[in-house]
Amino acid sequence: MRHIFIFRSGRESRFLRQLPQMLAAYFEERGGQYQILWVSTPEEAVQAARESCLAARDVRLYACGGDGLLHDIVNGAAAYPHAAVGIFPDGKKKDLAGSLGEAADFRNIQAQVEGCAIPMDLLSLELPGIDGPLYAVGHVALGPVGMSRLRRAGDPELPDITVEVDAKGAWRFPCFFALCANIPCWNGRRCVGWAAPDDGNAAYVLLPAGSRLYQLTAWEKFLSGRAKEMETARCGLCQQVTWQFESPVSIQVDGRDYAADRLRIQIVPRKIQFIRPGLAGGRLEEGKTEGRAAFSALSRRRQPTAVRAAWKKAAGER
User: Based on the domain organization, do 14 and 148 belong to the same domain?
Assistant: no
- Shared domain for 35 and 104, answered yes or no, is yes
Q: How far apart are CA 70 and CA 64, in angstroms?
A: 8
SS3 state of residue 156: coil
Same domain for 93 and 30: yes
pLDDT in tens, 128-151: 888 888 999 999 998 665 444 454
Same domain, 50 and 82: yes
Residue 189 banded pLDDT, cuts 50, 70, 90: confident
Mean predicted confidence (pLDDT) in 141-165:
67
Q: Are 116 and 281 in contact (CB under 8 A)?
A: yes
Query: In terms of domains, do 11 and 144 share one?
Result: no
Domain with residue 28: its CATH number is: 3.40.50.10330
Q: Are residues 190 and 263 in the same domain?
A: yes
Determine the average pLDDT of the residues in 34-57. 96
| Total domains in the fold of the chain | 2
Whole-number Å distance between alpha carbons of 125 and 146: 24
pLDDT > 90: what percent of the chain? 55
Write down the pLDDT at residue 315.
44
Residues 35 and 159 in one domain: no
Q: Cβ of 163: how many Cβ atoms within 10 Å?
A: 18
Does residue 104 sit in the same domain as residue 57? yes
For residues 297 and 182, state if they share a domain: no
Question: Domain of 44?
Answer: 2-115+277-317
Q: How confident is the model at residue 279 (pLDDT cuts 50, 70, 90)?
A: low
Q: Are residues 137 and 253 in the same domain?
A: yes
Q: Is 76 in contact with 47 (CB distance < 8 Å)? A: yes
Determine which of 130-134, 181-185, 206-210 has the lowest per-residue pLDDT on average. Answer: 130-134
Verify that 91 and 215 share a domain, yes or no. Answer: no
Lowest-confidence pick of 101-105, 122-126, 261-265: 101-105
State residue 295's pLDDT score: 41
- Say what the pLDDT of residue 145 is: 54
Per-residue pLDDT reduced to its tens digit, 215-249: 889 989 999 999 999 999 999 999 999 999 998 88
Mean pLDDT of the chain: 83
Strands 116-126 and 134-136: antiparallel
Same domain, residue pair 149 and 222: yes
Question: Who wins on pLDDT, 51 or 67?
Answer: 51
Of the three residues 269, 285, 309, the one that is the final residue of a domain is 269
Q: What is the mean pLDDT of residues 112-126?
A: 93
Stretch among 125-129, 190-194, 312-316 having the lowest mean pLDDT: 312-316
Domain containing residue 157: CATH number = 2.60.200.40
In this prediction, residue 11 carries a pLDDT of 65
Band (301; pLDDT cuts 50, 70, 90):
very low
Angle at 290 between CA 66 and CA 198, to 5 degrees: 60
Which of 269, 285, 303 corresponds to the end of one domain?
269
